[in-house]
């Protein structure tokens, strides 16, 4: 029996705004009972800057969640308390491994209600952390958005979150569009499938333009040195000062250490939806496309990389269930492959979607290089020029030590950042049905005349004499090409 096509309303997904809430996030909890939380939120940046946040949170009473009624209130409470928690953990001279009951007790109940882990996630920092400047204008317009809460109070941090908000909003209509395509494919309606794929490709091009705008208002150096600190999770943070993770002390005396990844764009349900609906497979990093079929998952089951699967644990429960259910009905790739030889417009529309998604991932790789890879190497170069004592005294909480780099830390979800992203990009073009399309998307581009004449061109494949290990965003990143992956935990 063919599974029914999921109904968006059953998962709290908006046909207009996708995984963003259909009701705008609250700018304040309406019940005065939560005024103390709102007071901390209003002064969060100043409390972090003056290093007084921990003292204020330690004195907060343990508030009940009984006053939270509508979903929007639960979401705002989760967003506030996770920001408070990350500020509490990372906002001092050394990280704090115990989060007091004033935060932990209500947060754990909120997380159970929303089906999210007790850590800041993509949902907390992006999906539920925005407001329109003008309510009568669209929220897919990046110039009409503002954040509700940030750690630093900087425009750079707000912009970093808001680019993703705009992408989610602009990409939202793709979801019902492609569900229509799934239904049409079941009926053998190639014309409708072609039209839907063409619309998908056009929207993907728009999303790439939005992602390109990251450079406009977010400075790479400021992001690397100031913002990333507070985005660190608690997984594999021994070298940053959390060898066991953190304790969410609920006041019962029975709380244990736990470890979670921090917020990551890999937690975006929208991007995973794109892969699933187009039938794109993501293998464990380093595994080639010609690996034995017995060692791989079935074609139509969607992403199989364990890091990608693990990131669904950080999505709101209904969103993760939606992705799982979509995997069982996705039929576009199979439909296109069965008609590619006789229906050229259909094949071209499908390949156009793959090309646009690959281009989107190219832009993402460029941003990661500029905001993470290059600053990390600059930081390492500066560290080498200082004495060991100076390096130790200035070590950032969210930056791995030189000792950690020599350990070549590896994790179950994969490791090196750039190899993972490049493989994910290359896998995007693999289902292309036209040979010329595959050749075009896999072409090697070479830039000339853009490097320093005297220093020469630095090779992309340059061998680094020691691995660069980075903490932050989604955990610990080992930028070491001989390992593969994205996130250590």
Q: Is 443 left (phi over 0), alpha (psi -120 to 50) or beta?
A: beta
Strand order in the sheet with 246-248: 98-99, 246-248, 257-258
The answer to whether the CB of 169 falls within 8 A of the CB of 140 is yes
Give the side-chain half-sphere CA count within 13 A for 368: 23
Are the beta carbons of 337 and 362 closer than 8 angstroms?
no
Q: Could you read off the pLDDT of 331-354 as tens digits, one per residue?
A: 999 999 999 999 999 999 999 999
Q: Does domain 121-288+304-383+407-448 have CATH number 3.30.70.360?
A: no
Based on the number of CB atoms within 10 Å of its own CB, is 132 exposed (0-12), middle (13-18) or buried (19 or more)?
Answer: middle
Per-residue pLDDT tens digits for 16-52: 999 999 999 999 999 999 999 999 999 999 999 999 9
- Element containing residue 177 per DSSP (H, E): helix 174-187
In terms of average pLDDT, the best of 35-39, 235-239, 382-386, 421-425 is 35-39
The model's pTM: 0.84
The span from the CA of 329 to the CA of 450, in Å, is 47
- pLDDT digits over 107-140, tens only? 999 999 999 999 999 999 999 999 999 999 999 9
Q: At what angle do helices 269-278 and 155-171 cross, to 10 degrees?
A: 30
The answer on whether 364 is annotated among ligand-binding residues is yes
CA 45 to chain centroid: 23
What's residue 443's pLDDT? 66
Is the pLDDT at 295 greater than 70? The verdict is no
C-alpha 356/C-alpha 204 separation (Å) is: 6
**Report for 151-165, 225-239, 292-306, 435-449: range of highest mean pLDDT:** 151-165
Decide which of 152 and 382 is more confident: 152
Torsional sign, CA 310, 315, 318, 320 = negative
pLDDT band at 486 (very low <50, low <70, confident <90, very high): very low
The DSSP secondary-structure symbol of 476 reads: E
**Cα–Cα distance list, 216 to 18, 21, 147, 155 (Å):** 25, 26, 17, 11
Distance from the Cα of residue 198 to its chain's centroid: 26
Domain ranges of the chain: 121-288+304-383+407-448
- Give the Cα separation of 403 and 240 in Å (integer): 11
Find where tokens 């309606």 sit: 189
CA distance 233 to 99: 13
The per-residue DSSP string of 393-436 comes to HT--TTB--HHHHHTT---TT---HHHHHHHHHHHHHTT-SSHH
């Amino acid at each position: 029996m063919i599974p029914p096509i999921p109904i968006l309303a059953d998962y709290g997904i908006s046909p207009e705004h996708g995984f963003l809430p259909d009701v705008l996030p609250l700018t304040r909890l309406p019940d005065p009972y939560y005024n103390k939380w709102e007071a901390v939120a209003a002064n969060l940046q100043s409390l972090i800057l003056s290093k007084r946040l921990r003292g204020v949170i330690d004195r907060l009473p343990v508030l009940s969640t009984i006053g939270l009624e509508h979903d929007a209130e639960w979401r705002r409470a989760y967003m506030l308390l996770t920001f408070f928690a990350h500020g509490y953990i990372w906002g001092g001279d050394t990280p704090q491994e115990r989060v007091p009951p004033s935060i932990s007790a209500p947060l754990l109940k909120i997380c159970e209600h929303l089906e999210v882990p007790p850590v800041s996630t993509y949902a907390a920092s992006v999906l539920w952390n925005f407001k329109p400047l003008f309510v009568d204008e669209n929220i897919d317009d990046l110039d009409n958005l503002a954040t509700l809460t940030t750690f630093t109070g900087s425009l750079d941090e707000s912009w970093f979150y808001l680019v993703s908000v705009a992408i989610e909003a602009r990409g939202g209509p793709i979801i019902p569009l492609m569900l229509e395509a799934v239904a049409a494919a079941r009926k053998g309606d190639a014309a409708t499938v072609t039209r839907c794929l063409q619309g998908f490709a056009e929207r993907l091009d728009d999303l790439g333009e939005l992602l390109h705008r990251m450079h406009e208002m977010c400075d790479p150096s400021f992001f690397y040195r100031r913002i990333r600190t507070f985005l660190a999770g608690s997984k594999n943070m021994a070298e940053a000062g959390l060898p066991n993770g953190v304790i969410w002390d609920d006041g019962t005396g029975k709380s244990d250490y736990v470890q979670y990844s921090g917020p990551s764009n890999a937690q975006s349900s929208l991007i995973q939806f794109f892969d699933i609906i187009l039938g794109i497979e993501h293998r464990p990093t380093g595994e080639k496309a010609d690996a034995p079929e017995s060692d791989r998952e079935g074609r139509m089951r969607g992403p199989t990389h364990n890091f990608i699967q693990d990131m669904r644990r950080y999505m709101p429960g209904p969103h993760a269930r939606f992705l799982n259910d979509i995997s069982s009905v996705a039929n576009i790739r199979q439909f296109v492959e069965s008609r590619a030889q006789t229906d050229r417009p259909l094949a071209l529309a499908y390949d156009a979607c793959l090309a646009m998604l690959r281009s989107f991932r190219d832009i993402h790789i460029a941003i990661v290089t500029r905001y993470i890879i290059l600053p990390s190497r600059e930081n390492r170069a500066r560290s080498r020029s200082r004495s060991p004592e100076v390096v130790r005294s200035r070590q950032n909480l969210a930056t791995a030590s030189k000792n950690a780099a020599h350990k070549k830390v590896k994790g179950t979800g994969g490791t090196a950042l750039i190899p993972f992203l490049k493989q994910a990009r290359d896998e995007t073009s693999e289902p292309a049905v036209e040979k010329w399309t595959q050749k075009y998307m896999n072409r090697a581009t070479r830039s000339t005349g853009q490097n320093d004449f005297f220093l020469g061109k630095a090779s992309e494949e340059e061998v680094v004499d020691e691995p660069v290990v980075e903490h932050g965003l989604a955990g610990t990143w080992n930028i070491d090409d001989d390992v593969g992956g994205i996130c250590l935990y």
